[in-house]
Amino acid sequence: MPRPTAVVCAYSSVGTSALQGLLEAGVEVKALYTYAQGADEQWFTPPAVVAGAHGIPVHMAPAFNADEVFEAIRAHRPDFLFSFYFREMIQARFLEIPRLGAYNLHGSLLPKYRGRAPINWVLVKGESETGITLHAMTPKPDDGHILAQARLPIDWDETALSLTQKAADAGRGLVREAIPGLVDGSLPRIDQKTLGPSTYFGGRKPVDSRLDFAMTAQEAFNQIRAVADPWPNAFLETAEGSAKVAWALPTDLPCPQGRFLALRDGVLLGFADGALRLHTLKVEGARLERPSEQANALRALGISEG
């Protein structure tokens, strides 16, 4: 029996792992469509590196839905088209090309958390569990029957980086194990409508990571861990300027809301119902970890000492 063939559209560490899962399942990947790695994305190995090591042609995708891309993919006559954390919505005409279907890997337990940045959003919302879903693609985002899911527990101090790595590891196995059932048609297909109502979250904007002293301490912590390094970080902003809160942890020690308290071994920042102990602030690119430096930075922002 000939090996199943696929064209893959992929990016991120999840895309890299899913591509590896396909190759481990014996799929012949005819082409990879991906993106150039950004200067702030050096923390993961991009799919293009894996493709290059296996002799797979790599195409950067500034305008994936162009006619010439459509014709090139159609010429491959692939069995599958896969989207693994690809940044573009793939037009409906592409979904009709593969003989055995087009499938997407999404970073949540669909139908919950459809849309962009699901890993960041589940942390912001304080979820204790999420997952990764392989589903059939339709012209609608994150729509279509579910083929496979893996559930992922979220630790209390989970960050976007650690949860992304969990999703990448799970995605690799999920894709690898799904291929035989996709090839012979034996994999059950679950209508998302039978699993309850869907929820949708859009792409995150910089303002979404702003900290507000009206937040509870847990809400502030969730915001911080959702965009901790290597993401751009949550931030405090006042009329006097801004500072990024790269990391902070909840504490039982008290601190007045909207103020800071400089202790010998750390700085507390007060929110609606409690406080966070600062670990790392960033001001104009400098990492501030000494309590005295952090206190001076907060004073410069016009935040009063409690």
The answer to whether residues 95 and 81 touch, using CB atoms and an 8 Å cutoff, is yes
The pTM of the full predicted model, rounded to 2 decimals, is: 0.95
The per-residue pLDDT for 62 is: 82
How far CA 115 is from CA of 65, 164, 235, 275, 281, in Å, comes to 19, 16, 24, 32, 30
The answer to whether residues 6 and 27 touch, using CB atoms and an 8 Å cutoff, is yes
The answer to whether residues 70 and 61 touch, using CB atoms and an 8 Å cutoff, is no
Digit-coded pLDDT (tens) for 46-103: 999 999 999 999 999 789 999 999 999 999 999 999 999 999 999 999 999 999 999 9
Residue 248 DSSP SS3: strand
DSSP state of 203: P
| Domains of the chain, start order | 5-201 (3.40.50.170), 206-300 (3.10.25.10)
| DSSP-H helix ranges across the chain | 12-24, 47-53, 67-76, 92-95, 118-124, 160-184, 217-226, 291-300
Digit-coded pLDDT (tens) for 100-115: 999 999 999 999 999 9
d(CA 306, CA 304): 6
